[in-house]
């Protein structure tokens, strides 16, 4: 299909648009304790979104890259780690609501899982990466949807999700599998 045939510039019948993003969860075994741990990023205090809260590693997909390459790039940029491969585990459509101009662009989030034995990480302007024991994640200030996303990503079948805005400003999360 040609560029003009993609349907993204139709002003007569505008379509819902979404910004592609990646979210990556890396797991590793702590050599000192033998515990399985997950790498999360503690958002820098100056961040507009999720400051001082823990989230997965990830970010925007650039126009010149596929989602897998974007996920690998974000891991390298935000942690200093170079991982050999990641596995797509789920896709989440995040509806960000509408305003007087109509529907705002949403987010299409591609959720990846990877394993690594390399545990040497470095802080970046985005935040500080930290290895946390999977068994005690409830003790940490996670971004809200991680309580639902992490178990699905680690142990479940491939999933599809949809987040819908509620009147109180929160997002309702719905998931399904094949």
Cα distance between residue 25 and residue 75, in whole Å: 9
| Residue-wise pLDDT tens digits, 52-93 | 999 999 999 999 999 999 999 999 999 999 998 999 999 999
- Residues linked to residue 106 through DSSP beta bridges, in sequence order: 18
**CATH class given for the domain over 16-177:** alpha beta
Cα distance between residue 12 and residue 22, in whole Å: 31
Q: Where are the domains of the chain?
A: 16-177
Residues of the chain with pLDDT under 70: 1-14, 99-103
> Which residue, 41, 25, 36, 27, is CA-closest to 116?
27
Contact criterion met (CB below 8 Å) for 116 and 73: no
Greatest distance between any 2 Cα atoms in the chain: 61
Instruction: State the pTM of this model.
Output: 0.90
The SS3 assignment for 152 reads helix
């Amino acid at each position: 299909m040609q560029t003009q045939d993609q349907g993204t510039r139709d002003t007569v019948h505008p379509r819902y648009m979404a910004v592609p993003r990646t979210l990556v969860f890396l797991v590793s075994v702590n050599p000192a304790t033998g515990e399985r741990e997950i790498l999360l990023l503690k958002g820098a205090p100056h961040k507009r979104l999720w400051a001082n809260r823990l989230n997965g590693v990830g970010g925007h997909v650039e126009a010149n890259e596929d989602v897998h390459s974007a996920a690998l790039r974000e891991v390298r940029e935000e942690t200093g780690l170079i991982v050999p491969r990641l596995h797509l585990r789920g896709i989440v459509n995040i509806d960000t609501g509408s305003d007087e101009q109509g529907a705002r662009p949403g987010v299409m989030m591609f959720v990846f899982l990877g394993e690594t034995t390399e545990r040497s990480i470095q802080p970046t302007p985005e935040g500080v990466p930290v290895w946390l024991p999977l068994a005690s994640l409830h003790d940490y200030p996670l971004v809200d949807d991680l309580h639902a996303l992490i178990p699905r990503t680690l142990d479940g079948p491939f999933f599809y999700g949809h987040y819908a805005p509620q009147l109180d400003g929160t997002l309702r999360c719905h998931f399904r599998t094949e």
